[in-house]
Amino acid sequence: MSKKSKIIIIGIESSCDETAAALVEIKAGKFKILSNIVSSQIKIHKKYGGVVPEVAARNHIVNILPVIDRALTEAKIKPARIDKIAVTFGPGLITSLMVGLETAKTLAFVWKKPIAAVNHMKAHLYANWLANQAIKYPAICLTVSGGHTELILIKNQTNLKKVGQTVDDAAGEAFDKVAKLLEIGYPGGPMISRLAQTGNPKAFKLARPMINSKDFNFSFSGLKTSVLYAYENSKLKTKNLKLKANSCKLTADMCASFQQAAVDVLAAKTIKAALHFGAKTVMLSGGVAANQLLRETLQAEIKKLKLNFVMPDKSLCTDNAAMIAAAGYFEKPIDWKKIRVNPNLSI
């Protein structure tokens, strides 16, 4: 953390298929986003049904400098005014991470600026600081993304401890796999939540794996299998499935039922952890935190418990570089020559 009263950080992110750069100003503990540029490769990877690592890395190489340039231009900030560079060094796809990291290290050398290496999963959590709301400790954060589902106990701003995680698929991965099964497109989360709006969440009785387990872990692969069997069964039962209207209703009902089951488990485990650890604040982060049902459900449940609830703006839940800059604020700079990518980094 810097002792200066106002500092400007540039965040750089390239861990998966988003090339991102952002300028964030921190003044008297308040975070202000000056620019936040995200260049998504979703359209490129859509046809493969998932991210192709080498294709992602090649596109990061093309995008990274124009994205950084745009972030500086939109923020109206010259490199000389930057106090710190914050860059993701893991977890993520190794070749994608290397593009962002090597670019940031080069900028640190050329601009003569301190550089901080940021853990992408910590950055998802620190996206909550961009909301500038009071955070009372201890706090519990549910991080739900494409590759992770974790409960993090936060004793103070920099003391983070993982207390629960998925034992198989991540929640976002389950949304993406179920969407693939239902043939509704990629990425699955936004598609499922959109179709779920017209579906009946009680239409299918789906498994809620580990909802009553004594620990704070999750499992989503059983829920995905439960969707597969229920969907195949109902397709067989529905004689008129060839009629488009019937098929649409079945898909919408399945989306609503799956979303409800996933949210039930995520909310139940988060509340259990909040009560167990005596949390005063509950936070939400990661791409799945953009899910409206999850946001509303947790907010309502936490309100009943009279605890503080903080969540990032939806646009700051999926990968972005403003969250990297926010996390970089809490990281000490290190010698750029010593930073290496760490694809399997954990909290």
Ligand X SMILES: Nc1ncnc2c1ncn2[C@@H]1O[C@H](COP(=O)(O)OP(=O)(O)OP(=O)(O)O)[C@@H](O)[C@H]1O
Stretch that binds Mg ion, among 185-193, 208-216, 312-320, 330-338 (CB under 5 A): 312-320
Q: 11, 164, 188, 201: which one contacts ligand X (CB under 6 A)?
A: 188
Exposed e or buried b for every residue in 238-276, given b needs 16+ CB within 10 A? eeeeeeeeeeebbbbbbbbbbbbbbbbbbbbbbbbbbee
Contact letters for ligand X, residues 274-303 (x by CB under 6 A): ------------xxx-xx------------
Structure-block tokens of residue 9: 């950080």
Check whether 144 is labelled as a binding-site residue.
Answer: yes
In this complex, which beta carbon is closest to ligand X, that of residue 9 or of residue 56? 56
Q: 35, 41, 103, 145: which one contacts Mg ion (CB under 5 A)?
A: 145
Task: Kindly report the backbone phi and psi dihedral angles of residue 72, in degrees, each rounded to the nearest multiple of 5, phi listed first.
Answer: -65, -45
Stretch that binds Mg ion, among 81-89, 225-233, 300-308, 317-325 (CB under 5 A): 317-325
Residues 116-155 that bind ligand X (CB under 6 A): 120, 124, 145-148
Check whether 146 is labelled as a binding-site residue.
Answer: yes
* Bridge partners (DSSP) listed for residue 308: 281
Residues 59-118 that bind ligand X (CB under 6 A): 92
Give the burial class of 328: count Cβ atoms within 10 A of its Cβ; 0-12 exposed, 13-18 middle, 19 or more buried: buried
Check whether 320 is labelled as a binding-site residue.
Answer: no
Residue 13 makes contact with Mg ion by CB under 5 A: no
Q: What is the DSSP letter of 319?
A: S
Check whether 67 is labelled as a binding-site residue.
Answer: no
Structure-block tokens of residue 162: 């993982």
**Which residue's entry shows tokens 């494409």?**
146
Query: Shortest Cβ distance from residue 180 to Mg ion (Å)?
Result: 19
Is the CB of residue 216 less than 8 Å from the CB of residue 269?
yes
Stretch that binds Mg ion, among 141-149, 202-210, 213-221, 262-270 (CB under 5 A): 141-149
In this complex, which beta carbon is closest to ligand X, that of residue 94 or of residue 241? 94
In this complex, which beta carbon is closest to ligand X, that of residue 120 or of residue 224? 120
Structure-block tokens of residue 252: 């919408």
Query: Shortest Cβ distance from residue 153 to ligand X (Å)?
Result: 19
Cβ contacts of 328 within 8 Å, gap of 6 or more: 9, 11, 84, 85, 86, 87, 116, 118
Check whether 189 is labelled as a binding-site residue.
Answer: yes
Let me know the angle formed at the C-alpha of 110 by 8 and 341, rounded to the nearest 5 degrees.
Answer: 80
Structure-block tokens of residue 167: 């034992």
How do strand 18-27 and strand 308-310 relate by DSSP bridges? unpaired
Q: 31, 89, 129, 175: which one contacts ligand X (CB under 6 A)?
A: 175
Task: Verify cis geometry, omega within 30 degrees of 0, for the bond prior to 114.
Answer: no
Stretch that binds ligand X, among 19-27, 153-161, 172-180, 323-331 (CB under 6 A): 172-180
Residue 288 near which of ligand X, Mg ion, none (CB within 5-8 Å, type-dependent): ligand X
Tell me how far apart the alpha carbons of residues 334 and 142 are, in angstroms, rounded to a whole number.
29
Is the CB of residue 12 less than 8 Å from the CB of residue 88?
yes
Residue 11 makes contact with ligand X by CB under 6 A: no
Residues comprising the chain, all counted: 347
Contact letters for ligand X, residues 189-208 (x by CB under 6 A): xx--x---------------
In this complex, which beta carbon is closest to ligand X, that of residue 226 or of residue 318? 318
Tell me how far apart the alpha carbons of residues 31 and 304 are, in angstroms, rounded to a whole number.
29
Residues that bind ligand X (rule: CB under 6 A) add up to a total of 24
Helix, strand, or coil (residue 115): strand
- Across the beta sheet with 139-144, the strand order is 159-165, 149-156, 139-144, 281-285, 308-310
Query: Shortest Cβ distance from residue 51 to Mg ion (Å)?
Result: 11
Residues 304-343 that bind ligand X (CB under 6 A): 318-319
Check whether 90 is labelled as a binding-site residue.
Answer: no
Residues that bind ligand X (CB under 6 A): 15-16, 92, 120, 124, 145-148, 172, 175-176, 187-190, 193, 286-288, 290-291, 318-319
Annotated binding site for Fe cation: 120, 124, 319
